[in-house]
């Protein structure tokens, strides 16, 4: 699926292309699945800010089977995932039957099928990275409830699943009024609206301490509010900006409550850490509700899924079927 700039915008369409589209890299992968991420929506949005040069094959993650390798670390038949780095933004990504990728971007799957790994995908990996950061900060279930914003989104839904599996009390913040049942099934103990609950109220630098920690993929005024309501010594793992890139906050939560703001980046996370976390995701405790979180869409219909991400109506994680679906 090639995204090309046209007069009116960006068109994503099926094309047959030559080997030159594979680019450079030591590992050639037959793609089984990709997945739909917020960034893929931006890749087909004019001035979306993530792709500099078109045409491009979008798809910031891919899972599949190695069919050729120029390095000893990988062999034909290995099941792998690659995500982030330049994939789908400045080199061709996962919305294609084949992909050639530098070996140092490739993670061998251990205990996960290519489908489950795609369900987790970039967003779920970012959720896992966020939870890891909170655990490394010292957070335990005894500290109190953990807030998850953008709860029905990819990062949010997998974060709820992982946190509840670890025994945390989870508060899910969502803009979708009909999502309560789904979020409870994933493990949310309570569901609240988007934050701040009253968007017209004058923001306060500090609010009642309500949560021990938070996984936030929304950013903007929502993140500012979350910071103002984290309890003493707590932390927020921040990964996203669906609610805006600005941060209209004060330093008071940091200097009066010792709150920490932990930046989360999955794109350039060093490969050793990336491989270690994927290995952990294949073991216990692993996400328990992937079949509830997952929807499936064939690659030829990926455009409609990306549109729902752009419209803010998408829920959970959509796996994009590639092999056999063109």
Q: Which residues bind ligand NAP (CB under 6 A)?
A: 37-39, 122-123, 126, 150-156, 174-176, 194, 217-218, 222, 239-243, 264-267, 309, 312, 314
Closer by beta carbon to ligand NAP, 140 or else 307: 307
In whole angstroms, give the CA distance from residue 191 to residue 258: 27
Of 245 and 255, which CB lies nearer to ligand NAP in the complex structure? 245
235 in Cβ contact with 143 (< 8 Å): no
231: which DSSP letter? E
Which residue number, 21 or 278, has a Cβ lying nearer to ligand NAP?
Answer: 278
Q: Which is nearer to ligand NAP, 152 or 297 (CB)?
A: 152
Q: How far apart are CA 108 and CA 72, in angstroms?
A: 13
* Nearest partner of 94 among 19, 21, 34, judged by Cα: 34
- Min CB(120)–ligand NAP separation in Å: 11
Q: How far is the CB of 247 from ligand NAP (least distance, A)?
A: 13
Q: Which is nearer to ligand NAP, 128 or 213 (CB)?
A: 128
Question: How distant, in Å, are the alpha carbons of 1, 79, 155, 268 from that of 144?
Answer: 46, 39, 21, 31
Shortest distance in whole angstroms from residue 89 CB to ligand NAP: 11
Nearer Cβ to ligand NAP (30/310): 310
Residue corresponding to tokens 């979306």: 48
Burial class (CB in 10 A: 0-12, 13-18, 19+), 192: middle
Q: How far is the CB of 102 from ligand NAP (least distance, A)?
A: 19
Nearest distance, CB of residue 46 and ligand NAP, angstroms = 17
User: Which residue number places its CB atom closest to ligand NAP?
Assistant: 153
Query: If we measure between CA atoms, which residue out of 64, 44, 111 comes closest to residue 285?
Result: 111
Residue 114 CB, nearest distance to ligand NAP (Å)?
19
Q: Within 13 A of 147's CA, how many CA atoms are on the CB side?
A: 32
């Amino acid at each position: 699926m090639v995204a090309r700039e046209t007069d009116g915008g960006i068109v994503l369409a099926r094309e047959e292309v030559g080997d030159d589209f594979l680019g450079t890299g030591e590992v050639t992968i037959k793609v089984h699945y990709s997945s739909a991420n917020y960034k893929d929506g931006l890749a087909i949005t004019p001035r979306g800010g993530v792709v500099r040069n078109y045409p491009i094959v979008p798809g910031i993650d891919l899972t599949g089977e190695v069919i050729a390798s120029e390095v000893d670390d990988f062999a034909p038949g290995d099941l792998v995932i690659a995500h982030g780095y330049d994939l789908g933004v400045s080199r061709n990504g996962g919305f294609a039957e084949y992909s050639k990728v530098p070996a140092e971007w490739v993670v061998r799957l251990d205990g996960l099928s290519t489908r489950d790994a795609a369900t987790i995908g970039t967003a779920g990996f970012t959720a896992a990275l966020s939870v890891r950061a909170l655990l490394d900060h010292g957070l335990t279930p005894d500290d109190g409830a953990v807030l998850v914003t953008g709860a029905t989104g990819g990062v949010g839904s997998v974060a709820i699943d992982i946190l509840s599996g670890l025994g945390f009390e989870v508060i899910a913040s969502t803009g979708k009024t009909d999502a309560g049942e789904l979020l409870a099934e994933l493990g949310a103990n309570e569901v609240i609206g988007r934050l701040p609950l009253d968007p017209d109220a004058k923001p306060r630098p500090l609010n009642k301490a309500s949560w021990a920690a938070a996984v936030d993929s929304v950013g903007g005024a929502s993140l500012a509010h979350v910071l103002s309501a984290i309890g003493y010594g707590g932390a927020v793992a921040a990964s996203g900006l669906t609610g805006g890139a600005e941060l209209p906050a004060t330093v008071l939560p940091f200097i009066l409550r010792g709150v920490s703001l932990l930046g989360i980046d999955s794109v350039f996370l060093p490969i050793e850490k990336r491989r270690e976390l994927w290995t952990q995701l294949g073991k216990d405790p692993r996400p328990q509700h992937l079949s509830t979180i997952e929807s499936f869409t064939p690659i030829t219909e990926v455009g409609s899924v990306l549109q729902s991400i752009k419209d803010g109506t998408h829920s959970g994680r959509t796996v994009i079927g590639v092999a056999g679906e063109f």
